[in-house]
Amino acid sequence: MRAEELKGHLDAVLLATLEGGPRHGYAVIEALRQTTGGRLDLPTGTIYPALRRLEQAGLIAGTWSVVGGRRRREYQLTPAGVRALSGRREAWRDFSAIVTSALENAGLENTACPSPNPA
Amino acid sequence: MPESEPRLIRGYLEVLAAQLPGPIVEELADGLTETHRSYLSWGLSEDAAAEAAVAEFGSAEEILAGFARVNPARRTARRLLGFGPVVGGCWAAALATSRAWPGSFPARVALGLALVSCIGLLVVAALDRRYRVAFYSGVAGCVGFAALDASLIVGVLVVAGVASWVTALAMAFSSARIALCARAAAAAQQNT
């Protein structure tokens, strides 16, 4: 799956990767790879602006630490982020159920209600 | 990034550092170093691992565009520009009704020029895709508007007092704008 296909859902996916505890940018990407079996094809660099956006929205909080002589920024969910993740998960389940139902039952609908015979 | 890092990675980070604030570049450097190390652990050579890491990160243009979209100065500038006509309209009505227009012609010209300059700076902050340009224009625009608002509030209080509800409303709007600018300045400090 490419980045454009994920548009609108990236924030929820990033919030979900932080549900297990604080992670830095690269660890977020690794977690995304592991949870999706490597099927999410995102340029790594695009994750960082998205993390900043979530931080500005108050959904995650960043803190600095020093690891191996390098400064590292780690992010964790804020209480608002936990609530937002829960809401988005629920919205996704509803959306997914509706679309799945529409896609899988469309053929059955046509079979059950044949179009009227013009003759 | 230490000297021992491959030239490709150093060059890539230098392109980003020319546009982005230091803390953001430090964060990207950490991620890029981890990505590079991960490829090294797979058995790639230094240079091949650097090429793979940079390719995985995406182009510098993509990253700069991503950060330009989340630049806090851009968001604040857009809010101030949207809010501006309401505050300006209130002040025009308040000054006209209280007859507290800046007395001399040079004072009016100075006020007009300051207003146009602040709007210009905010327009640059709202539209320019270069992070630093947008950032510093936004900061300058915020400081300018906060100073203008403070001058108007003090000036009108001294000359005419709170003569009408329109004046009170204009002062309230200006105070809200000063608070927004102060909050934006505090957030900007975290990014630099």
Q: What pLDDT was estimated at residue B99?
A: 67
From the list A48, A56, A64, the residue facing B28 with the nearest CB is: A48
Interface test with A, best of B1, B34, B78 (most A CBs within 10 A): B34
Q: What pLDDT was estimated at residue B158?
A: 76
pLDDT grade for A115, boundaries at 50, 70 and 90: low
Q: What pLDDT was estimated at residue B191?
A: 58
Alpha carbon of B10: minimum distance to chain A alpha carbons (Å): 15
Determine contact: B30 vs chain A, CB below 8 A: yes
Report pLDDT digits (tens) over B1-39: 455 678 899 999 999 999 999 999 999 999 999 999 999
**Nearest residue on chain B to A27, alpha-carbon basis:** B31
Q: What pLDDT was estimated at residue A3?
A: 59
Answer yes or no: pTM beyond 0.90: no
Task: Inform me whether the pLDDT recorded for B41 exceeds 80.
Answer: yes
Interface test with A, best of B1, B25, B27 (most A CBs within 10 A): B27
The span from the CA of A35 to the CA of B44, in Å, is 25
Q: What pLDDT was estimated at residue A86?
A: 95
Picking from B106-110, B131-135, B145-149, which range would have the lowest pLDDT averaged per residue? B106-110
Picking from A6-10, A31-35, B129-133, which range would have the lowest pLDDT averaged per residue? A6-10
Report pLDDT digits (tens) over B71-95: 888 989 999 999 889 888 888 888 7
Average pLDDT, rounded, for chain A: 86
Distance (Å) of CA B2 to CA A27, B42, B133: 21, 22, 28
Is A56 close to B56, i.e. CB distance below 8 A? Answer: no
Would you give the distance in Å from CA B138 to the centre of its chain? 3
Q: Is the ipTM of this complex over 0.95?
A: no
The span from the CA of A95 to the CA of A93, in Å, is 6
Is B58 close to A44, i.e. CB distance below 8 A? Answer: yes
**Nearest residue on chain A to B36, alpha-carbon basis:** A26
Q: What pLDDT was estimated at residue A111?
A: 61
Q: What pLDDT was estimated at residue B9?
A: 92
Task: Inform me whether the pLDDT recorded for A74 exceeds 60.
Answer: yes
Please, what sign has the CA dihedral across residues B145, B147, B151, B153?
A: positive
Give percent of chain B above pLDDT 90: 41
From the list A26, A49, A52, the residue facing B31 with the nearest CB is: A26
Is A26 close to B34, i.e. CB distance below 8 A? Answer: yes
Task: Inform me whether the pLDDT recorded for B120 exceeds 60.
Answer: yes
Q: What pLDDT was estimated at residue B180?
A: 87
List of chain A residues whose C-beta atoms are within 8 Å of the C-beta of residue B25: none
Determine contact: A56 vs chain B, CB below 8 A: yes
Is B35 close to A50, i.e. CB distance below 8 A? Answer: no
pLDDT grade for B170, boundaries at 50, 70 and 90: confident
From the list A48, A49, A50, the residue facing B31 with the nearest CB is: A48
**Nearest residue on chain B to A71, alpha-carbon basis:** B26
pLDDT grade for A82, boundaries at 50, 70 and 90: very high
pLDDT grade for A9, boundaries at 50, 70 and 90: confident
